[in-house]
Chains A and B, each alone.
Chain A
């Protein structure tokens, strides 16, 4: 056989192998985590695990609700803060800003998106935590140490903004100029052209950028862990401390062997994280599908 054809075959096999590897990775991880966390299901039902609020590993009580709710709270809070900022910043930079401003902003956004999260955490402790305890909390007439769900949400929002903004800029820039021209030629004002054409055309892209941002935010560990207070409680007050799921795993991984079931519980936490992020992804895929259908 000729060498070219052998190369061709090898390349093909290699590509196929990589593909299968990538496709089965989440499956392998899911199955692995499930097997490792299986013992805890003999102990407590899935429903009890997810909705229970009582967390006392030494007594064998594993209720994950404080962690799940903290995670959801911080993520949703960060999202409420980040979504409008990203949208308007993205529209402004791609549709209104001068070329010079763009030349300055793009590298800045890239750098911010690439910073390790521990830096955001340190920065959160230095700036956001005091800001929450000294400015925000008094403003709302509550006392807070600053290490709170609110601080976690703000830090997370600031982390996610450059990440999502980068994608949004990409998305807005793919709208062809001719489409905007068409809308203007029909009598739209510039803002109407942006709203009716650029934003509308980008809609599936906007959703997918936000979906990726949300999944990333939900799994973010270090930065949030540093400012959120890490107290196990279910709270609706954003000035109270919380304890997100990723922080639980990161904080307790070392000591897990000494208490029975603890390792299984932490594996279950990881499984939960995986499943929730999968669900977020599926929901956003569905929205994207819906949006592209229109």
Chain B
């Protein structure tokens, strides 16, 4: 099963994907990096500009379509996956992208998200996760850590956050990845891979909101600590991380543990080797659960990338099959079908 979207040599540059609208995010916002990486990557994905559509919901992230010179649809809160699904099903030749945030997609749009993944509608979903409600000025979100002090939780939040990658895997998304606003090269790679993927592609992007949740990801982005806290997943490679690349992830039963490769007891051969194409999602789940887990690095990269028929393709195939079987619909025949009688 190949990506059916027509691809060809196109001579676009990043600038060709910038719209004439002024970008209105706060200076220093992580969203700028996401926009830049998308604009840098899109010339390479081989899709004509007129065949690309960005759909969004509500929130800072969801202003994204206005800044792209492709077709765009700024929807209503949470509904971007549903609007995008309708568009993609009606018009399968298009490459349909969703820009959304943690509030938009994990809270009000949660239902649409899980069902889009379940159905494997061929959409690319970029979720800007800043772990806060930015546009409504700083309430905690479904990805905020427990105990978060915000305007709506002055004594700290008492609920537990979603892990978006686990949720996507639990909904059987066929492509699940994570990247960070401060890792431009890595992000470009994820976007490219998502563009190539046929099926629901979900990328969680850790994004700093420097106004309401500044520094949420410092431990994953600051030079001196990030290598000890981040595990960059690479297909077919053992899971090694650390400033000195001296640490690795090994399975102890179903439990991932971090081991020291220099302690004389462990070697690279003990480590979990990443297989993003594993049809069985158990290992992807185990990896996803390392997120924010004390003593374990937070994984970025592609957790899962498998191929299975998409919903939109299924609908098209079924229609073609029925037309082949029954012939093209004849309205006159349908009108006059059933138990009819004549009145003279």
Chains A and B belong together in one complex = no
